[in-house]
Chain A
Amino acid sequence: MKHGGYTKFSLQNLLGPLALLTVATYFLNGASTSLQLITQFALCYFVMVLALQVFVGNSGVLSFGHGSFALLGSYVSGMLTAPVHIKGHALALNQLWSFLVPLQVNIYVAMALSALISGAVAALTGILLMRLNGLAAGIATFALLGVTYNIFFNNKQIGPGSQALPAVPTITNTYILLLIAALSLVCVYFFNISRIGRTILATREDAMAAPALGVSIFKVRLIAFSISGVLAGLAGSMYVHVAGTFQVQDYYLDFTFMTLSMLIVGGSASIWGALVGTVLITGVGQILLMMEQNLPVFGLHITIPLGSRAVIIAVTFVAMLLWRSSGITNGREFSLDFLKKLSKKN
C-alpha cells in the first residue's frame, strides 16, 4: 500500500463516487423487487466498507473487530425500535431484562444513537487496542469480535441470544438509505483530506518518520478507529432496518471477511476503491446467483451448476489478489485525468 490517498480537495474525487453510487442505486432499485432488496443491503455494506476504509485503508492496520461495532449498532437500533409487545412476548426474548422491554424511540433517533454508542465503544476499546501494531493488532481486534459475539450469542438477558429478534421496523425507501450512504461518503472524504486524515496516511507510509515529525501514531489511529466505529455502528443499524430482524450470526466471520474483501478487492486506500469493491462483489455475486437459478443475465442464458457460485466468487477473489494486490483501483481516487492524456495523444 505504498501509493494511493490524496491530500488536496478535488471535486472529481468526491463527485465521481457520489455519481456512481446514485446512478447504480437508481437503476438497480427500479429493476425488480429482489434487486431492490439487494441494492438496499449493498448500501448497508457500502457504509460498512467505508468504515473499514477510514481505519484499515488509511492506517494500514488490519481490523477484524469492526463486526463488533456493526453488531452493537444493529442491536441497539433493533432493541430500541422493535414493538414493545414483541419484546415482551416473543419466545426468543423470554429471559430479557425487564427494563429493556418498554424502551422505544423513533427509528432515526435509534440509528443516531446506535452510531454514537458504537463510536463510544470503539473509542474506549481503541484506547487499549491502538497501542498495538501489525499482527498483534489484527489478533487483538479479532479477540474483540470473539468476545462480543460470544457474549451476545449466549446471553439471553440482553438480547435474543442465538435466536432472532423479529419485527424490527424496516426502511423501505431505498433513497433514504442512499442519502445516509452518500452523507457518510462525503463525511469520510472530508475527514480523509483533513489535517488528521493526512497525518494518518503519513503514519501508514512510514511508521518511523511520522513520529519523528511529532505525530502521535496512537492518537491519530484512535481518532480514525472511533470514527470508523461510528460508521460501522450506522451500517449495522441500517442493516437491521433492511433485514427486519436482528441476529447475532449476521455480524460474525462471514460478514467480517465479506466486507474486508470488498475493501481490498476495490483498493483499500481510497473511497473510490471502497465503492468499486462493494459494487463489484455484490454485482458478481448477484449475477452468479441468477446464473445458478437459470435466469437470464443481460438477455443471455448461461447456467452454472448449483453450488458453484461460492467457489467462483472465492476463486475470483484470490485471483484478483494475485493479479493486483492493491486492489482494482490501485488505491487511487476517481479521476478523469486519463481523458486528458487521451486527448493529448490524439
Chain B
Amino acid sequence: MIQSILDAISLGGLYALAALGLGLVFGVMRLVNFAHGELITIAAYMLVVTVNLPLIISLLLTVLVTAAVAFLMELTIYRRLRGVNPAIMLIASFGLSTVLQRVYELIFGALPKSAVVAPFLNGAFKFAGLSITISSVITIVLTVVILLAMGYLVEKTSLGLQLRAAAADFRTARLLGVRSNRLISAAFVLSGVLATCVAFILVVENPEVNPYYGVNITILALVGIVIGGISSLRGAALGGFVVGVILSALNTLLGNGRVYAYSWLFLLVLIILLVRPGGFLSKGSELERV
C-alpha cells in the first residue's frame, strides 16, 4: 500500500517535470512542443552511451547535449514559425519529432540500446517492516528538489519574472523590455535541462532506449498541461502530477483490467476538459487566447 502510494507520487512527480518542460516553452511562444519527447530520448541515449564515464561527467555531458539540441531546435525551426497559427506550429513540432526519431534511428539503430545507469538506485530497503524500492524514493526526492529549484528560479530571479510575464502576456512583456529572442532561447534550454532530469529518472527504471522512448510520457504530459491550465507554469506542473497519480492509481486499482487504464484516464480528461475547458486552475471558462 505504502509502496503504491510512493509509486503514484513518484510517477506524478516525473510527469510534473515533463509537463513543466512543455509548459515553459508554451508560456513564451504558445507552442506545444511535441518534440520535447525527442529531447527526453536524446538525453536517455546520452546517458546510456556514456555509462562508462563517472556518473557526474555523464550527466554533465547529457545536459549539455540535450540543451544544445533544444537550443538548435528553436534557432532553426521554431524561430521562423513565430506568430504562425498555433495549430500549424503543433503540426510542425510533430514533423520535427518525426525527423528526430528518424535521425536517432539512423545514428543509434532501431533496436533498443540499454545499459545499467546508476545501479545503486535499483533495489529495495526495509522500512518499518515494509519493502520500499530505492528508485521511488529517489525519484520523489529528486522531483521535489528540481521543482523547488524551478520554483525559486521562476519566483525569485529576473529570468523567472520575465518567463512569468511572457507567459501572462508576451506582447506586453516585450513592450516592457523583455528581450524575446533571449528569453525564448532560455526557455528552450531550461526545457532541455528538465528533459534530462526526466530521462535520468526514466532510464534508471527502464534502460531500454529506442527512438520512440520519450513519446509516451510527452503525450501524457501534454494531456497534463491542458487539464492543469496551460497558461500558468504551476497549472502545468500540477496537471502533469495529477495525470501521473491517476495513471498509477488506475494501474493499482484496476487489477486485470489495467489494459484499459488509458481509456479511463482519457475519459477523466474529457470530463475535466468539459467542466473546466481552461484547466482546473482557471477561473471559470474564459476564452483561451490561442
**A interface with B by C-beta (< 8 Å):** 1, 60-62, 128, 131-136, 138-140, 142-144, 146-147, 150-151, 154, 257, 260-261, 264, 307-308, 310-311, 314-315, 317-318, 321-322, 325-326
Tell me whether A143 and B223 are in contact (CB under 8 A). Answer: yes
Give the CA-CA distance A205 to B266 in the complex, in Å. Answer: 30
Give the CA-CA distance A321 to B99 in the complex, in Å. Answer: 14
Tell me whether A132 and B273 are in contact (CB under 8 A). Answer: yes
Please list 16 pairs of residues, one from A and one from B, whose beta carbons are closer than 8 Å in the complex, sorted by A's number: A1-B85, A61-B87, A135-B226, A135-B288, A136-B273, A138-B90, A140-B269, A140-B274, A150-B259, A151-B260, A154-B260, A310-B105, A314-B102, A318-B92, A321-B88, A325-B88
B90: which A residues are within 8 A, CB to CB? 62, 138
Q: Quick check: is B262 within 8 A (CB to CB) of the other chain?
A: yes
**How far is the CB of A148 from the nearest CB of chain B, in Å?**
9
Interface string of B84-123 (1 = CB under 8 A from A): 1111101110111011001101100000000000000000
B277: which A residues are within 8 A, CB to CB? 131-133, 136
Tell me whether B95 and A128 are in contact (CB under 8 A). Answer: no
Q: Quick check: is B267 within 8 A (CB to CB) of the other chain?
A: yes
B: interface residue count bin: 35 or more
Tell me whether B263 and A261 are in contact (CB under 8 A). Answer: no
Interface string of B188-231 (1 = CB under 8 A from A): 00000000000000000000000000000001001100110010
Give the secondary structure class of B's interface.
Answer: helix
Q: Quick check: is B77 within 8 A (CB to CB) of the other chain?
A: yes
Tell me whether B32 and A322 are in contact (CB under 8 A). Answer: no
Other A-B contacts than A135-B226, A136-B277, A146-B262, 18 sampled, CB-CB below 8 A, are A60-B85, A60-B87, A128-B270, A133-B287, A135-B288, A136-B288, A139-B273, A143-B223, A147-B262, A150-B260, A151-B260, A260-B91, A307-B105, A318-B77, A318-B99, A321-B92, A321-B95, A322-B81
**How far is the CB of B48 from the nearest CB of chain A, in Å?**
21
A308: which B residues are within 8 A, CB to CB? 106
Q: Quick check: is B12 within 8 A (CB to CB) of the other chain?
A: no
- What are the nearest 9 A-B pairs in CB distance? A143-B266, A134-B290, A314-B99, A314-B98, A154-B259, A311-B102, A318-B95, A139-B226, A146-B266
**How far is the CB of B81 from the nearest CB of chain A, in Å?**
7
Q: Quick check: is B21 within 8 A (CB to CB) of the other chain?
A: no
A133: which B residues are within 8 A, CB to CB? 277, 287-288, 290
Knowing A133-B287, A133-B288, the reply to whether A144 touches B105 (Cβ < 8 A) is no
Q: Quick check: is B278 within 8 A (CB to CB) of the other chain?
A: yes
A260: which B residues are within 8 A, CB to CB? 91, 94
Task: With a 10 A CB-CB cut-off, give which of B87, B94, B226, B277 has the most chain A CB atoms.
Answer: B87
Closest to B92 in A: A321
Tell me whether A257 and B106 are in contact (CB under 8 A). Answer: no
Tell me whether B91 and A321 are in contact (CB under 8 A). Answer: yes
**How far is the CB of A79 from the nearest CB of chain B, in Å?**
20
Knowing A307-B105, A314-B99, the reply to whether A135 touches B270 (Cβ < 8 A) is no
Q: Quick check: is B80 within 8 A (CB to CB) of the other chain?
A: yes
Closest to A305 in B: B106
Contacting A325 at CB < 8 Å: which of B84, B219, B259, B263?
Answer: B84
B223: which A residues are within 8 A, CB to CB? 139, 142-143
**B interface with A by C-beta (< 8 Å):** 32, 77, 80-81, 84-88, 90-92, 94-96, 98-99, 102-103, 105-106, 219, 222-223, 226-227, 230, 259-260, 262-263, 266-267, 269-270, 273-274, 277-278, 287-288, 290
Give the CA-CA distance A61 to B226 in the complex, in Å. Answer: 16
Tell me whether A317 and B262 are in contact (CB under 8 A). Answer: no
Tell me whether B273 and A147 are in contact (CB under 8 A). Answer: no
Knowing A1-B85, A60-B87, A134-B290, the reply to whether A311 touches B273 (Cβ < 8 A) is no
**How far is the CB of A69 from the nearest CB of chain B, in Å?**
16
**How far is the CB of B68 from the nearest CB of chain A, in Å?**
19
Give the CA-CA distance A264 to B222 in the complex, in Å. Answer: 22
Give the CA-CA distance A92 to B92 in the complex, in Å. Answer: 38
B219: which A residues are within 8 A, CB to CB? 142
**How far is the CB of B19 from the nearest CB of chain A, in Å?**
13
B87: which A residues are within 8 A, CB to CB? 60-62, 138
Give the CA-CA distance A215 to B100 in the complex, in Å. Answer: 43
Tell me whether A135 and B85 are in contact (CB under 8 A). Answer: no
**How far is the CB of A55 from the nearest CB of chain B, in Å?**
12
A147: which B residues are within 8 A, CB to CB? 262-263, 266-267
Tell me whether A140 and B287 are in contact (CB under 8 A). Answer: no
Closest to A61 in B: B87
B230: which A residues are within 8 A, CB to CB? 135
A322: which B residues are within 8 A, CB to CB? 77, 80-81, 92
Closest to A311 in B: B102
Tell me whether B262 and A136 are in contact (CB under 8 A). Answer: no
Tell me whether A311 and B85 are in contact (CB under 8 A). Answer: no
Give the CA-CA distance A217 to B219 in the complex, in Å. Answer: 28
Knowing A307-B106, A318-B96, the reply to whether A134 touches B77 (Cβ < 8 A) is no
B95: which A residues are within 8 A, CB to CB? 261, 314, 317-318, 321
Closest to A253 in B: B215
Tell me whether B102 and A144 are in contact (CB under 8 A). Answer: no
B267: which A residues are within 8 A, CB to CB? 143, 147
Give the CA-CA distance A326 to B290 in the complex, in Å. Answer: 17
Closest to A141 in B: B270
Give the CA-CA distance A135 to B226 in the complex, in Å. Answer: 7
**How far is the CB of A147 from the nearest CB of chain B, in Å?**
5
Task: With a 10 A CB-CB cut-off, give which of A138, A143, A154, A260 has the most chain B CB atoms.
Answer: A143
**How far is the CB of B248 from the nearest CB of chain A, in Å?**
17
Contacting B263 at CB < 8 Å: which of A146, A264, A310?
Answer: A146
